[in-house]
Every structure is written in structure tokens, then in C-alpha cells.
Amino acid sequence: MSTPARSTSLTDLLLLGQGRDLASERGVSCTGELPEASDPDLISRARAARAALGDRALVLGHHYQRDEVIEFADVTGDSFKLAQAAAAQSNAEYIIFCGVHFMAESADILTSNKQKVILPDLAAGCSMADMATANQVTQCWKDLEEVGVADKTIPVTYMNSSAAIKSFTGEHGGTICTSSNAKKSMEWALSKGEKILFLPDQHLGRNTAVLSLGLTLDDCVLWNPWKPMGGLTPEEIRGAKVILWRGHCSVHGRFTLESVNEVRKQVPGVKVLVHPECQHEVVAAADVVGSTEMIIKTVEQSPAGSAWAIGTELNLVSRLAKAHPDKKIVFLDKTVCYCSTMNRIDLPHLVWAMESLVDGHVVNQISVAPEVAKYSKLALEQMLAL
């Protein structure tokens, strides 16, 4: 596990943006002098630093990043595409990952020991990934052993998880999945065993099981890591095909069935296009469901004049609306819905990281411990081979 396990008391808690938690990789403040966001030279500084780094650096930008960051990305993509890009890149000395912590960990696992992965702001984590800790998952597996089903269960872990959970998955013969290949991964798992332990996003697991694999809601049970035996009876566990971890995305979980019904009334002919991390009732009521990459392609390939209500992160929806003025593109929620942790990476952090590298200082390196990387790599490579 790259983040050392430790107990946290109330006195340990830091105010957001102040201080630094030395026992964690996820510090909450920048370790150096950040340029002012109002610096009129910020863009020229970014261009100069990027040019000075040249082929020594590869800048990866997740689709949910701000426009000001995406502008400097060599490759943009969802977590799957960026994992592939990191794995394919053997020349760049630095991989500057404009995304969140778990993505940078995966990039570190998939690249060579000579390459360094940089996360411009260490506070860019993921609330979903934090919903499954190594201790909780280990306890869950012990419980499954006690019920006598562990040897028939294959873990399938969403990319949005810590390296420690990916390592658990590799060690127990499972695979990683993304929203692009969840169906394939779950089919593979069911060809190897009788049950799936799906971590940590209950919605992606449930939506894929029911809408893509033809299983029923009754085939799925929800494992609550805060309750003994996940809050389930041994019979419920034995009867389930899919054991869903009780985690969710705090961004996609906000979209509601009411918003779907409302937008259909407000926008004639609108098609509802959502990410599979949305709640099951939202996904079931949508016209098209797909990964971030699939959402982009669907809009790109749709005819002029078509109308779309999109349920995913707002930076991406705004960019799609700007890029397709001939189509009506609306956001499927009344309130602003950015991923706050993705948004931690801004141009000042990117400039600071790049200028530090130009000066020969490696900052905010994400480094996964070799014993964790070993099995995580196995699970990630299993995914890339599917």
C-alpha cells in the first residue's frame, strides 16, 4: 500500500488547504511556491516550461480536467485510455498526470522504474476510491472464506481504487475493469468462478450485471463494509452472483430520475446520455449509457440538430457543448456538478510542477511500493489483455 496505514484522531485532522500530513501521500497543501492564479504570464510560463521539457515529459489529461489544463495535455482520455497511454510510453522520463491519485498510481505501476509519475496536486484524490480500504477488503475476504464462498469468488475491481485494492485483486486471481470494459471483465470473471466481488463502485457493478450481463437485481447483494459480515446473512451471500461493494461516485451519484423526467419535458426530442456510475434507476431510464469515451463519441457522431442531456462531470459536458454548437447539449442536473478533487489540478499547480522539473527538482512523485505494485500490475495487465 503506498499510503501508510495509521490511526487518525480528531487532533490529526487538517483544515483543507492548510498544513501537510506527513504520514500520507495526500498532503493538502503545495510543498513549493505556487504561481498566483492571476499571474498574467501564467500561460506563457506554462508554454515555456512545456517546451523546455520536450520529449522528456508526457502530459496526460483526464477528460474531467479544467480547460486550462487540458490545453497542455499531450493525450486526453478516460482512465482506461490514459492507462494504455502510460503503458505504451517508454521514452518519457516524466509522466505528468493531470487526473487523480489512483490514476497516477496505475501509471506508476505500468511504467518502468526509470520513469517518474508526477501528480501536480497531491490532494487530488477520489472519494469513491477512498470508500474501500485495504483493511476492509481483507476483512470482507475473511468473511467470504468463513461462509465458504471465497474459492468460488473472483474480485473485479474498478480502476477507481487504490493500488492496495488493485494488489488484493491481483493476489486473488481477479482483474481490473474500467467503465469501457466492465462487461468483458465481469464475463471473464464469471468464466473463472461462480461469483464476483465487485469493488468499489456499486452502481457500475449493478448496472453492468443487470443491463449488460442479463442478471437480475436479486442476483446482486450490497456489501456494507461498516457492518459485520457486510450486513448480509450467509444465505444471502451464498445465493448472490455479484457481491457489490457499497461505494459510489459523489459526482455521478447526484443525477436523479426526476432530472431525467424533467429534461424530457423541457427539451423536445432530447436523448439522455449517462455514465454507468449513475444510480441504476437513472441508467435504466436513459437512452444511451456509456463510458466517458463513449459519451464523447456518441455526441461527435450524432447529427446536427440533435439534443442531448448528459449525466457526467460538468467540465466535459461544457467542453462538448462548446465543441458542438450545431447540437443542443444540456447538463442533466440543475446544480453545478464538478468533480472537486479533479479540479484541484489547475494551471498554477501544473506550471509549478513543470517548472520544478525544468529546474531539476522532482516534485509530487507518486511511487507505489514494490510489494503492492507486483500484484496490482498483474491485475492491470490482466485487464489490458482482455
**Out of 24, 29, 84, 127, which residue is the one contacting ligand SF4 (CB under 6 A)?**
127
Q: How far is the CB of 40 from ligand SF4 (least distance, A)?
A: 31
Distance CA 42, CA 45 (A): 5
Residue 176 DSSP SS3: strand
Query: Which position among 164, 339, 366, 368 is part of the footprint of ligand SF4 (CB under 6 A)?
Result: 339
Size of the site for ligand SF4 (CB under 6 A): 13
CB under 6 A: which stretch of 44-52, 176-184, 247-255, 289-297 binds ligand SF4?
247-255
Contacts of 340 (CB under 8 A, 6+ apart): none
Rounded Cα distance between 220 and 240, Å, is 6
If the CB atoms of residues 139 and 250 are measured against ligand SF4, the closer one turns out to be 250
The answer to the question of residue 342 lying near ligand SF4 (CB under 6 A) is yes
- Which pairing describes strands 242-245 and 220-223: parallel, antiparallel, or unpaired? parallel
Beta bridge partners of 307: 328
Positions of E strands within the chain: 57-62, 75-77, 94-98, 116-118, 153-158, 175-177, 195-199, 220-223, 242-245, 271-274, 288-289, 307-311, 328-331
Q: DSSP letters along 191-237, please?
A: HH-SEEEEES-HHHHHHIIIIIS---GGGEEEE-TTSGGGG--HHHH
Q: How far is the CB of 129 from ligand SF4 (least distance, A)?
A: 6
- Decide: is 318 part of the binding site for ligand SF4 (CB under 6 A): no
Q: For residues 67 and 146, which CB has a smaller minimum distance to ligand SF4 in the complex?
A: 67
346 vs 355 by CB, closer to ligand SF4: 346
DSSP H or E run through 370: helix 370-385
Q: Kindly tell me which of 277 and 355 has the beta carbon lying closer to ligand SF4.
A: 277
Among 53, 98, 126, 272, binds ligand SF4 (CB under 6 A): 126
Which CB atom, from 167 or from 179, has the smaller least distance to ligand SF4?
A: 179
Q: Binding to ligand SF4 (CB under 6 A): which residues in 56-85?
A: 64
Q: Which residues in this chain contact ligand SF4 in the complex, by CB under 6 A?
A: 64, 100, 126-128, 160, 249-251, 313, 339, 341-342
